[in-house]
């Protein structure tokens, strides 16, 4: 019986050593699994943080784009208004250019009329001088006729 107990004890000791080795191997494997799981969780947390930051940035960019879109629509409206105003101003400039052309034509006519009036004044002055000269001649002739006795002036006229 002692021998049976001794064999049982040796088997138990061998089993104990084997179980202890299995336990150590299992603990080692558990530590590796725990380490792997922690690394995996850290990577997942980093990825989630990056995704959250990207999402926040995209949302910020989206809001900025929406603001720019509204501003762009306002600018399009202003451009349309400026285009209409520009067309009106171009029409006004064309009308003013036509008015200026007419005014230049009128001015040329006025200058021609002034020149003609100047010529007519000159002729009028000449006619007045001629008339005045004739009167003087007539006065001188009539004075000569009176002083000469009446027909001396007629002889002079001839």
How does pLDDT run across 143-153, given as a tens digit for each residue? 787 777 655 44
Q: Which of 54-58, 93-97, 148-152 has the lowest mean pLDDT?
A: 148-152
Residue with the two structure tokens 């150590």: 24
25 within some domain: yes
Domains of the chain: total: 1
156 within some domain: no
Does 112 have pLDDT greater than 80?
Answer: yes
Is-contact 145 153, C-beta < 8 A? yes
127 within some domain: no
Token output for 39: 């690394």
115 within some domain: no
47 within some domain: yes
125 within some domain: no
148 within some domain: no
The CA R_g of the chain, rounded to the nearest whole Å, is 64
Q: Which domain holds residue 60?
A: 1-107
């Amino acid at each position: 019986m002692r021998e049976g107990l001794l064999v049982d004890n040796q088997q138990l000791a061998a089993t104990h050593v084997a179980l202890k080795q299995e336990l150590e191997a299992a603990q080692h494997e558990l530590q590796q699994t725990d380490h792997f799981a922690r690394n995996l969780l850290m990577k997942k947390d980093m990825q989630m943080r990056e995704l959250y930051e990207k999402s926040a940035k995209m949302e910020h960019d989206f809001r900025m784009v929406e603001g720019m879109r509204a501003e762009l629509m306002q600018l399009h409206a202003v451009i349309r208004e400026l285009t209409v105003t520009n067309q009106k101003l171009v029409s006004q400039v064309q009308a003013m250019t036509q008015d200026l052309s007419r005014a230049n034509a009128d001015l040329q006519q006025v200058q021609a009329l002034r020149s003609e009036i100047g010529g007519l004044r000159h002729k009028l002055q000449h006619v007045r001088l001629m008339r005045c000269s004739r009167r003087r001649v007539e006065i001188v002739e009539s004075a000569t006729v009176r002083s000469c006795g009446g027909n001396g002036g007629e002889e002079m006229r001839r």
